């Protein structure tokens, strides 16, 4: 599915687990971080185009007592080593019942990332593997692309306004196949 665009985004925010790196539930071990195929190339291509890239990630394992904030920071650091640098990191440590403004699908992390980088939400995009990623981007006023995995619910794929097969496809949707990095 393709979405017509007037301008290319100046900021692309990626979900971490299942989008940039292989999802290891409640991962607190940096040694278990494995980039998804093609992630580094897509990120490097965006950087070469002078597009800022960032991460917006729910980490409810902190609220659930399964992870410490230090473990999340260490895993994020490993992602940064393998795939960075990122213009912004936004992490929500809250649980689903905490009613915070940052946990996706709420737009808080997307809005903070935009404020931190100086890119208006309407000039940003969010790429993720589940519906809450898409909804957070849309709620913030950004574009959103779903890149489903085997864990993405079929109904989430049907409801998504824009779907791409992989990260390269998401960039093609956002920038056009000839413009894609």
Known catalytic residues are 15, 17
- HEC letters along 115-148: HHHCCCHHHEEEEECCHHHHHHHHHHCCEEEECC
Secondary element (H or E) of residue 70:
helix 69-83
What does the DSSP assignment read for 73-120?
HHHHHHHHHHH---SEEEEE---TTS--SSSTTSSHHHHHHHHHHT--
Residue with tokens 């895993």: 75
d(CA 78, CA 29): 9
Task: For the chain, state the CA radius of gyration.
Answer: 15
d(CA 55, CA 52): 11
Instruction: Show the tokens assigned to 8.
Output: 């290319």
């Amino acid at each position: 599915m393709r979405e017509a665009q007037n301008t290319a985004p100046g900021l692309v925010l990626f979900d971490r687990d299942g989008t940039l790196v292989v999802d290891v539930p409640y991962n607190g071990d940096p040694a278990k971080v494995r980039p998804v195929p093609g992630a580094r190339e897509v990120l490097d291509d965006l950087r070469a185009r002078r597009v800022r890239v960032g991460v917006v990630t729910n980490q409810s394992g902190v609220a659930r007592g399964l992870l410490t904030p230090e473990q999340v920071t260490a895993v994020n650091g490993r992602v940064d080593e393998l795939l960075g640098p990122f213009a912004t990191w936004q992490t929500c440590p809250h649980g689903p019942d905490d009613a915070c403004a940052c946990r996706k699908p709420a737009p808080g992390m997307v809005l903070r990332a935009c404020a931190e980088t100086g890119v208006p939400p309407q000039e940003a995009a969010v790429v993720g593997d589940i519906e809450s990623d898409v909804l957070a981007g849309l709620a913030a006023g950004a574009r959103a692309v779903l890149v489903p995995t085997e864990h993405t619910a079929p109904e989430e794929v049907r409801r998504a306004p824009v779907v791409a097969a992989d990260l390269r496809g998401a960039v093609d949707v956002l920038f056009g196949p000839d413009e894609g990095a």
